[in-house]
Structure 1
Amino acid sequence: MSDPFGTAELRVALLDAWRRSPTRLIEDAATEADHVRGGYRDRVFTELVQNAADAANRAGVAGVVSVWADGESVHVANTGEPIDRTGVESLASLRASRKDVDSVGRFGVGFTSVLSVSDDVEIRSQSGSVRFSAALTKSELSAVGITAEKVPVLRLAWPSDAAVRTGFATEVVLHDVRGGARNLLRQFTDQVFDLLLELPSIASITVDGQTFERRERALGNGLTEVVIADRVWWQFVGPHARWLLPIIAGRPVASAPDVLRAPTRSDEELTLPVIVIGSPSLQPDRRRILPGSRVEHLMDGYGQFAAALPSEDRLVVVPRARFARGDIDALLREAALQQLQTSAWLPVVGSDDPVRPGRAVVLPGLSAELEDVLADTVDGLIAADLSGRHQLAALRAVGAHEVGLARLADLLSGLDREPGWWRRLYDSVEPLVVDAVAVEELGGLPVPLADGRTVTGPRTTLLPSDLPDDPALANVHWARLVHPDAAHPLLARLGAAPVNAAGLLSDPALEQLVLDGEDVADVVLVLAAAVADEELPTWLGLVELADDDGDHRPADELLLPDAPLRSLLSVDAPFGTVADDLVHRFGAGVLRKLGVGWSFLVVRDESPTGPDHELPDEEQWWAQCADEPETLAAVRDLDLIDDTAWEEAISVLANDPETASIVADRAGYTAWWLRNHGVIGDRRLGAFCDPRDPVLAGLLDPYPGVVVVPALLASLDDLDADFAQLLVDRLANESRTPNPAAIVRVHTVLATAVAEGRLEPMDIHLPDRVRAIDGSLVNADDAIVLDQPWLASVVPASRLVVSGLSTAGVLAHLLDLPLASNVVSAQIVSAGVKTLWANEPEFVLDAVARGIDLPSGPVVVHDDLVVKVSGAVDGTFSVREWVDEAGVTNLCRRR
């Protein structure tokens, strides 16, 4: 058997050394065991693939590794440079490993990792094959008289005739694998992806027939796409390290917590969002960084990596806030953040060049729509796809300046933009206003007004509601009206109050402008046209409009050209005619809302405090009111009606829905004024009665007009001194024909007014004659006021003046007439029978028939009740009833 690597000489020399120094044997066995249990545990496949990578690099070929099982043996073959004598010597020396600058590890101490799975290892190569075996070593030691419990496996090598598999340079065979060959293959499969990433000189690895290839594709900007099977990474090569990001669904994502790859996996745990692969100085077992070694340089150029990524994915590389997993992790995290803070990589709106984070500002929650609006407004604004609230922590970590809604409002202050731009801004900002804090922060948001101004803060503005689209609204300078093109619901959430045309026309600021005589006619008319049924303030009647002479007069001093009121006014009424062009532009209805006359105008006051409405004789009406009115609704300018037009005026007032209820209110100012000042012929309206009035129709003239409004005519409910005098005079007028009921009613009303103090007798001029109950006129000297009902049976009706018996004394005082009981004396001359009311069937039946209670006490019954009368009346009379001086009732039986 050939021995190309001189293994026989190596065995002889080593056996001789062990014989001379048994301690050396023990030390070699212990050292090998330490390597297996310590630094190279779980690194079998890693160490073998590292050796394959070195072999490929030396040969300048793409590394190919193949792994398969043969029974319980596992074969690991690779392409590249075959093993040489120096390599075998390195393996057998245990303490030496040939290294080049470009080497990862080539059959050095790391090869001892194979002993964790097998004590019988064979290396087959195109240059020859060797075998290491614990059994062979023990046999060799026994042959030379050395006994050892534990022996080093990789010290004694034997030549082998086994050939390497065709197509490969070297093949490592692990015989009799502990734990089973299939289980080891599964472990190797799990490590394939890491090794292909870490060792780019390895192009493919095949395990148990399944091939994993590493494919690369340049993406531009220094990025390389690395694909292994169905997994993808993006790689960027820095000066001292490579960084990789996993790709999921075409987008880079942060790597899970990992370890530093140097270039294969070390024990230095990392929390960086990228896989870091470099070549730092490691301890001999390649698990830890050599103490004192500099590692920060591994992150040099990291900012360039961020800049190479698509703009929307750049924050993926920012280390998230978390506790470092060790000193190395802390150093690399800090170095990565420093690189990101000092490099230009953040994309900003409106620029093709990225900026350093310190020169960028982030508005959390920025949308694409808001980004578009703010593109030329906020310098250094980070793009929307990097401004999500979940990305804010990363931006803070690299030093980007955060701006809240309050700061945004400040930045927008003083901007000159057209109203539509502001509406787009409000629409884009609205999704960010999620709570009361956001509302407060936007308290200083600029708002463009209809008059061209831009003011600070929505709370002082008014949002147009159902306003017309008319250029005249630009003249609404008395109110902070938001420009219609900028109006947006967000402003209402920020405190702007909705306002419609009626609200603008009711503004006290407009009233002051009108009082100051400012020309606001056009805008007021446009707003009035937009008002539906709301009642407008009466002071809008002071708005000056053009008349048909080209002059300007208050609206309430103008009439429409065809106004019905024109024919009712006196010739000296101070009204002009509104200009025709205003009628054509706005229509009669709009002009009437401002007070331009068509029919009678109305004054309304829901809370009047006094007679201050410039109504004629208003003070007199106010004084005669028993209680101050709670509301006031009155027709204006009644004093301008021509004296010959009152019948027509009453008809107009009664048929106009605006005034009909007002003139029908007897207690109101309008009905009061018309009763006292409206004149038909030579009589005031209050001297006429309703033709249907059963009491007054026989005393007063009926109203001659077609339309009768009772509230404007005489009523016994409105008795004053003048009306009382009229009634007294009409009762004494022989041309009047009141019926008995009317006579009694009028007398009772007059007496009641005196009794209640509403009428003073001295204010009434008494006529020579008075009206008796039978309708006849009787000289006052012959008249008697009935105060006891039984006296009516002996006093002629032609002499009796009658009211309600309770007011007889007051009526006698008013008319200066005697009471009947004072001027008539009587004595009962017939004999009667004294009995009780309850004993007389006739009286009981009479009470039942009339529905009254039967009187109690005594009653005197006569067959013929006869009284003898003296005084104002003399004679003897048969009567039905009489009350004697004792107060006892005397009655005559019915026959």
Structure 2
Amino acid sequence: MQTASDGDPFGTAGIRQRALAAWTADPARFREDANAEEDLVRGGYRDRLLVELAQNAADAAVRAGVPGHLRLELCGATLRAANTGAPLDAAGVQGLATLRASAKRDEPASVGRFGVGFAAVLAVSDEPAVLSATGGVRFGAELTRTVVTAVPGLAAEVVRRDGAVPVLRLPWPSGGTPPEGFATEAVLPLRDGAGPVVAAALADLRAELLLALPGLSVIDVVVDGAERTLRIERAPGSARITDGARTTAWAVAERSGELAAELVADRPVEERSRRGWTVTAAVPLDDDGRPVPLPPGQVLHAPTPSDEPLSLPLRLIAPFPLGPDRRHVAPGPVTDALVEAAAGTCADLVTGLPADPAVLALVPRVGLAGGELDAALCGAVLDRLRALAWLPAAADPDVRQAPERAAALDDPTEERVAAFRDVVPGLLPAGWSRRSDARTLTALGVRRIGIAEAVEAVRGVDRPPSWWAALYAAMDGADREELAALPVPLADGRTAHGPAGVLVPDAGLPVHRLGALGLRLAEPEAVAPPAARRLLERLGARPATAQAVLGDPAVRAAVETSMDAVDDALEGAPEPEELAEAVLALVAAARPAAGELPWLAELALPDAEGGWAPAGELVLPGSTLAAVLEAGSLGVLDADLAATADPDALRAVGVLDTFALVRVDDPDELDVDGVDRWVDGALDRLAPDGPLPGWPPLTAVRDLELVVDWPGALPLLVALPAEAWADVVLHGVPVPGYLRWWLSTHPVLDGRRPDRLRHPESTELQGLYEPASAAPEVLARLRPPATVADVLADVDGAIDLLHRLGDPARTVRPDVLPTVYARLSEALDGIDVDPPERVRVAPDRVAADAVVLDAPYLQPLVGSAVVPAGGAPGAVADLLDLPLAGERVRGTVTGDGQRRPWAGLPGAALAAARLGLEVLAGDVVVHEGLAVDGCAVRWWPGEDVDHVDGSPEALGRALAWRAGVWSRRQALAEAFAHPDHALELAAEDAVADQA
């Protein structure tokens, strides 16, 4: 055997001789070696060249125990790969020259795959060389071709192969040394066309390649002088990888072990001698330490990139045995064992990461495997993740749980998970329960629970109101049907088994003072957030303002039966003290006006005698009302309650400090003094034959009959709302309301009835009525009569006036007397009235015997007193039960007169004009002295002709009576009195008509 010499330190000559001898002895072996290298030349390993060079550098560094540093430099048409570590030795050269063999079979820490590494250079170079501090070797196609063609048995094969020969089988010594600081350098003159391919590979070289090369720390990439540095800093469970100015943190998990000998029994000898394995799983992290899943299209690294697809979004590096194509994993027991090891490593990676939902992206997705190996890996990883306690628990950030014990909330939010985390065992945080991760969680075996199931879990739990508030706010927007059974804590300590019908108290409602009412009032703190209120109201709860609660039928029923509960001790009824306190607190919050809710007056309250009475039958102690009413007519409220309760609330429930208003829709519902007489008086003001009126809402005042101090009571009454004093309009006719009627018909003004007095400013009623004396505001409310019309509006007032007219102690204004009896007859038409004993015949005189003047010409012939009829003699006579003057006087004209035509009388033309006639028709008898029944008169009407004494006054009266225009008698008399001024008078008439 030839040994190495100083010029050939690695014994390359001997290696060449042995190779040639083998080829010569067996040309088939030559063809086999040539075919294998031809595969590399055709580019089958061109994409792995840089990785194979990096693996060699990593293994050299491991052998030397130094940090690995690789420099890849492309300069022109030459690629140089310099590395630190163990220098080249004879065994290494032998390995380089032995295709598909390796000198690293006893180095368990090496990562090179048997016989492939340096051979990859043939994909780009025909003249590779390796320079080392211990010497160098080179290979060359031309050198090999020259030697091989000299062998007769091989020359023909070289020709047949167009000159192609196995380059790496025949090494030659080479001079040169690696760059300073490096132990070895591969020099690769590039084949034509390989330069751009190598440049592209260098540009695409990723720093994460260092993860697969434990012995390598730095790779410098230099292309035409431009340098890029790839660096890795390793730490337990992590690595920091730098590519130029960019640094990326990676989470790393590793497992190592040794394959059982029986597993590799059928593998090549190199594999049988290297049973140790290391599996690495890694994933990049963002700035917050969360994993950043690698994009789709990952492949298994074994440790160089294979063609085995990997659906796991991480870098998996494992020494799986490869098939003859060096691209796919060979099936078998070794692969099966390494699948289990890889699955454990991936599970270590996932479970070792911080508890962040981003980790779920690393969990295998069932059904997405890219191949048989990938499917086996994913299934094995899932099996381990299902069995490990690594998922966080929302209830305790420090606790980890196995997926089978975990639960994911459907439609989760941070707030919902926070609400349910301590009542739903194993609940995952919201970020871990997203719908987008549902398939992943299902694959892990995590139980998904809907909102309805979560709601069921809170039934019966005892939690503070703030917890319920957070729960309701979190559930806002969830499906109504799933929340129908959501419990609601009530203010009185009970729990409602669903929101429907629960009262959600408004701010200001004194909820905790209303327990005696038995209402389903939600605990205020539990419904304080707007979102909580919104949810419960959407689920059927009712907003509960103080006004709404006060209007609840249950509250009204409790009030209306409160006296029964006191008297009969009703079973289940609240204590009267508690009920009174609750209702008063509610009323104080709702602020209804006094009398607005009349049923509140039935509330049982304590009185000053130690008993109980309806609120509406009690007066405030010390109030003005108590002083003006008859002692003992109404009860007095307990002094302690009066001192502590809200005064407005006491008024609202009917406790009296002034007169109480009674509001009804029908007079039949009024229970006040004299209501029937008021109704009759109101109806008397309407037409007697008209339809019955429809009554508007009515307001009355009670307890007027109990007053004993009217000077003190009237100011209280005047201060009542205007509605208490308002008129009632029936068929368009305003009639006094109950309060004004009652006061007007009772002696409330100095012991006299206001309707029997006159307003102090009245002149029309002077002499008939005494003036009322009271404060202006009292008079304004009572409205004592000021005119005859005011008196006649009321039937009783008209009857009273009828008798006042006959009172000799009274007087009547002259302008009132002429028509007052006629107006009375109209006001009392249809009313059965006893006639007065005396009648008014003059402003200051009355008479017991009188007649009603039914014609003006009769007055001189009547021997008795005359009552003015005011144009209605018949009605007046009937009213007063007196005869008409025409019934007592026959009227016979005595003496002869001269019959003359009206038209011939001086002034007749003007008189005709004033009557609107062309000429006066007919005749008139003119007497020098006219007498009727022996009594001198001025004029007397006859059936066809009138008689006059010839005076202008008589002519005017006679003509006016006959023409039916009695009111124009003075104008006609003027025409006859001044015939010589007819033109001037006619002119005045014309001007007057125009005006």
* TM-score for both structures, normalised by structure 2: 0.76
Q: Distance in 1 between matches of 2:403 and 2:931?
A: 129
CA shift at 1:319, angstroms? 4.2
Q: CA deviation at 1:45?
A: 0.5
Within 5 Å, which residues of 2 pair with 1:119-158?
119-125=126-132, 128-141=135-148, 146=156, 147=159, 148-158=161-171
Quote the residue 1:312 is aligned against: 356
| Of 361-370 and 520-529, the range deviating more from structure 2 | 361-370
Query: What do residues 350-395 of structure 1 show as CA deviations (whole Å, max 9, x unaligned)?
Result: 4443112232223467666666655533321223553566656644
* Cα contact 1:48–1:111 (8 A) shared by 2: yes
Q: CA deviation at 1:452?
A: 1.9
Which of 250, 254, 276 is the aligned partner of 1:237?
Answer: 254
**8 Å CA contact 2:745, 2:753 repeated in 1:** yes
Judge conservation of contact 1:345–1:354 (CA < 8 Å) in 2.
Answer: yes
Give 1:875's aligned amino acid: V
8 Å contact kept, 1:54–1:106: no
Q: Report how far residue 421 of structure 1 moved.
A: 3.4
Match of 1:604 among 657, 663, 668: 663
Aligned partner of 1:708 in structure 2 is: 779
Structure 1 equivalent of residue 644 of structure 2: 585
| Equivalent residue runs for 1:425-504 within 5 Å | 425-426=471-472, 429=474, 433=476, 435=477, 437-438=478-479, 441-467=482-508, 472-484=513-525, 486-494=527-535, 495=537, 496-504=541-549
Alignment partner of 1:526 out of 585, 592, 606: 585
Offset of residue 515 of structure 1: 2.3
Q: Is the 8 A contact 1:66 1:207 kept in 2?
A: yes
- 1:661, 1:186 → 2: CA distance? 105
2:944 matched residue in structure 1:
none
1:490-889 matches, within 5 Å, as 490-494=531-535, 495=537, 496-517=541-562, 518=574, 519=576, 520-532=579-591, 534=593, 536-573=596-633, 575-586=634-645, 588-605=647-664, 608-609=665-666, 611-619=668-676, 621-622=678-679, 624=682, 627-642=693-708, 645-657=709-721, 661=725, 666-677=735-746, 684-706=753-775, 707-709=778-780, 711=782, 713=784, 716=790, 719=793, 721-743=795-817, 746-753=820-827, 759-761=829-831, 763-772=832-841, 776-777=845-846, 781-785=850-854, 799-803=866-870, 805=871, 809-816=874-881, 831=900, 833-834=902-903, 855=916, 875-877=937-939, 878-881=954-957, 882-883=959-960
- Aligned counterpart for 2:293 among listed residues 209, 231, 254: 254
What whole-Å deviation, never above 9, does each CA across 1:439-467 have from its counterpart, x for those lacking one?
66444433222222222334423333342
* Structure 1 residue runs without a partner (length 5+): 847-853
Residues 388/24 of structure 1: CA separation in 2 closer, same or farther (3 Å cut):
closer
Instruction: Indicate how the Cα distance of structure 1 residues 408 and 288 shifts in structure 2: closer, same or farther if over 3 A, else same.
Output: same
Letter in 2 for 1:478: L
Q: Could you tell me how far 1:795 is from its partner in structure 2?
A: 8.9
% identical equivalent positions: 33
Count of aligned positions? 862
Aligned partners of 1:458 and 1:491 also within 8 Å = no
Distance 2:328 2:26 in 1: 34
Is contact 1:824–1:872 with CA below 8 Å preserved after alignment?
no
Structure 1 residue 74: deviation in Å? 1.8
Number of the residue aligned with 2:221 = 207
Q: From the superposition, tell whether residues 7 and 567 of structure 1 become closer, same or farther in structure 2 (CA, over 3 Å).
A: closer
DSSP 3-state at the match of 1:251: coil
Secondary structure in 2 aligned to 1:42?
helix
Give the counterpart letter for 2:700 in structure 1: A
Whether the 8 Å CA contact 2:799–2:833 is kept in 1: the answer is yes
Larger Rg: 1 or 2? 2
Correspondence for 1:171: 185
Which amino acid in structure 2 is aligned with residue 802 of structure 1?
Answer: A
2:356 is paired with a residue whose SS is: helix
Query: Which range is displaced more, 610-619 or 20-29?
Result: 20-29
Distance in 2, matches of 1:711 and 1:873, equals: 54
Alignment CA distance shift 1:823-1:465 (3 Å): farther
Q: Offset at 1:600?
A: 0.8
Question: Contact 2:392 / 2:400 at 8 angstroms: preserved in 1?
Answer: yes
1:300 is aligned, of 322, 326, 344, to 344
Mapped contact 1:243–1:275 kept (Cα < 8 A): yes
Q: CA deviation at 1:43?
A: 0.9
Does the 8 Å CA contact 1:262/1:280 hold for their aligned counterparts?
A: yes
5 Å-filtered alignment, 1:27-106, equals 28-37=33-42, 39-69=44-74, 72-83=77-88, 88-89=93-94, 91-94=96-99, 96=101, 100=105, 102=108, 103-105=110-112
How far the C-alpha of 1:797 sits from its partner, in A, is 12
Give the C-alpha shift of residue 527 in structure 1: 3.1
String of CA shifts for 1:174-201, please: whole Å, max 9, x gaps. 0145457697366336425132011212
Shift of the 177–353 alpha-carbon distance from structure 1 to 2, 3 Å rule, reads same
Q: Which amino acid aligns with 1:419?
A: P
Distance 1:648 1:700, change over 3 A: farther
* 2:550–2:590 contact (8 Å) kept in structure 1: no
What is residue 358 of structure 1 aligned with on the other side?
404
Secondary structure class of the residue paired with 1:353? strand
Give the match's secondary structure for 1:880.
helix
Structure 2 CA distance, aligned partners of 1:100 and 1:553? 111
Judge which range, 539-548 or 56-65, deviates more: 56-65
Which residue identity does 1:256 align to in structure 2?
P
Give me the whole-angstrom Cα distance separating, in 2, the residues matched to 1:862 and 1:36: 163
The match for 1:275 is: 315
8 Å CA contact 2:389, 2:403 repeated in 1? yes
Q: CA, structure 1 residues 42+307, in 2 after alignment: closer, same or farther (shift >3 Å)? A: closer
Q: 1:9 to 1:677 in 2, by over 3 A?
A: same
Distance in 2, matches of 1:308 and 1:681, equals 103
The CA distance in 2 between the partners of 1:856 and 1:450, in whole Å, is: 96
Q: Is the 8 A contact 2:661 2:724 kept in 1?
A: no
Question: Which of 196, 205, 211 lines up with 1:197 in the alignment?
Answer: 211
Question: Any conservation in 2 of the 1:91–1:109 contact (CA below 8 Å)?
Answer: no
- CA distance in 2 between partners of 1:440 and 1:744 (Å): 87
Tell me, yes or no, if the aligned pair for 1:653 and 1:663 is still in contact at 8 Å.
Answer: no
Q: Deviations over 1:459-502 (max 9, x none)?
A: 42333334266853444533525335653322331204443434
Give the aligned residue type for 2:615: A
Instruction: Write the letter of the residue equivalent to 2:740.
Output: A
Aligned to 2:389, which of 341, 344, 347? Answer: 344
CA contact (8 A) 1:25 1:151 kept: no
Indicate how the Cα distance of structure 1 residues 106 and 514 shifts in structure 2: closer, same or farther if over 3 A, else same. Answer: closer
**1:158 maps to amino acid:** P
Kindly indicate whether the alpha-carbon contact (under 8 Å) linking 1:592 and 1:598 is maintained by their aligned counterparts in 2: yes
Matches of 1:64 and 1:498, distance apart in 2:
76
For the Cα contact (< 8 Å) 1:472–1:526, is it kept in 2? yes
Distance 1:858 1:423, change over 3 A: farther
- 1:201 and 1:692, CA in 2 relative to 1: closer, same or farther beyond 3 A? same
How far apart are 1:9 and its partner, in Å?
Answer: 5.3
Residues 1:296 and 1:843: Cα distance change in structure 2 (over 3 Å): farther
Instruction: Please say if 1:382 is aligned against 2:428.
Output: yes
Gaps of 5+ in 2: 1-5, 257-277, 563-573, 684-691, 729-733, 940-953, 979-995
Give distance in 1, aligned partners of 2:328 and 2:926. 149
**What SS does the aligned partner of 1:492 have?**
helix
Q: Which amino acid aligns with 1:105?
A: G
CA contact (8 A) 1:697 1:738 kept: yes
